[in-house]
Amino acid sequence: MSARVAILGATGYGGGELLRLLIRHPNVRVVAATSRSAAGTPVSRVHRNLEGVTDLAFSAPSDAELMASCDVIVGALPHGASAEVLAPFVRRGMPVVDLSGDYRLRSLEDYRTWYRRDHPHPELIPRAVYGCPELFAEAIRGASLVASPGCFATAMNLALLPAARAGLLAGGRATVVAMTASSGSGAEARAGTHHPTRAETLRPYKVLSHQHVPEVVQCVGDAGAPIAGIDFTPISAPIVRGILAVVQAPLSAPADDEALATVYSEFYADAPFARVVSHREPECQSIAGTNYFEVRARSTADGNLHVVTAIDNLVKGGAGQAVQSLNLMLGLDQSAGLDWPGTWP
C-alpha cells in the first residue's frame, strides 16, 4: 500500500524536485501539492518537466483536510514560515520531513544568531532528527520529524564525516570554498541571482556568515570530532545545478592519500549514493539530476585534510536527500525511487 504524501510549498525548485521524485516513486502517492497563490493551477504549468506526467493541480487544503487525507507531510517552505506551518502536524505525531533550516539546530542561540529570528516553536526542536542518512540512518528510521540538511551543509558534511568518525580531525577550524549553481537561489529572480548578472562571473556572497555553518559544526561534533568552526566562502557560479566544495581541516595525525582513501571507502561502504573516487576529480556534471555524490580525500604537504566533494544541490542537497530520509521513515530501502544514474555529457 502506498504512503499518501503532501508536499507543502510545492511551487519552488525544491517542491518541483520533490514532485519529480515522488510522482514516480514505487511506494508513495502524492495526494496534495500545496500553494495558496497557485491553488487550482495545474502543477505542470509551473514545473514544465511534468507536462503529461501528472494531472495534479496545486491546492490550499486546511490542516484538518491534510491530516485526514495524508500519511506523511514534506515541507518545502521558507525558513521561519516552515516551523509555523508544520507545527500542527509535528504535534499530532505525523511523519514530517522539513527542507527548511527551522529544525536543524538544537541550540536556540545558534538559531537566533544565524537565522536572525527567535524560533517560533522551541518546544518541538527536541523531536527533530538531523536528516543525514550517512550518519543517522537508524535514528531517522524511528523519527517522526526529520530536519533535512541544507545544500552547502550536505557537501561539507559528506567531506568531513569520514575523517571525523575515524578520529582524524584535530579540532581546529576548517576552511571551505564552495561554488553553487543558480538554482540554489530559488525560483524568484533577484538582483544578485538573475542570470544576466551571474552568467559571466564568479561572485562570493555571505562570506564567513552563511547559515549552513552551524549545522555542519553540530553534525561533525555528533560524529565524534568537535571542531572550532568553519571559515566558509560560498561562491555563486554560472551553472544551473551542482555544488563543488573544497574543504580543508587540520589532521590529528599524519595520514597519506592511500590511508585517507581507505577511511572514506570504509565509511561509505554501505552508503548507496557514495562515489569515493581516486582516479579523477569529483565534478558536477556526472551527478547532475541524481542523488549520488562524489568525494575525494587527500592530505596536503603541511598535514591538512583536503577533500573535494560534488553534489546536485537540488537532489542530494535538497529534495533527493529528503526522499532518502522519507524512505527510511517509512521502513523502505533508502534508495527507493532514487537509484538512477545521471546523464553524460
Active-site amino acid positions: 151
Residue 276: how many CA atoms within 13 Å on its side-chain side? 20
- Phi and psi of 250, rounded to 5°? -65, 135
Rounded Cα–Cα distance for residues 82 and 179 (Å): 26
Contacts (Cβ under 8 Å, ≥6 apart) of 327: 27, 333, 334, 335, 336, 337, 338
List C-alpha distances in Å: 222 to 48, 136, 226: 40, 10, 8
What's the angle, vertex CA 203, arms to CA 198 and CA 209, rounded to 5?
130
Rounded Cα–Cα distance for residues 301 and 61 (Å): 59
What own/partner pairs with CB < 8 Å and gap ≥ 24 does 46-52 have? Answer: 46/11, 46/16, 47/16, 47/19, 47/20, 49/16, 49/20, 50/16, 50/19, 50/20, 50/23
Give yes or no for a contact between 80 and 102, defined as CB atoms under 8 angstroms apart.
yes
* Unique residue bearing C-alpha cell 517560533: 120
The DSSP H or E segment spanning 265 is: helix 257-267
Rounded Cα–Cα distance for residues 17 and 15 (Å): 5
Closest CA to 107 of 249, 219, 207, 227: 219
Contacts (Cβ under 8 Å, ≥6 apart) of 138: none
Rounded Cα–Cα distance for residues 264 and 270 (Å): 11
Neighbours of 338 (CB within 10 A): 22
- Pairing type for strands 3-8 and 72-75 reads parallel
Rounded Cα–Cα distance for residues 286 and 263 (Å): 23
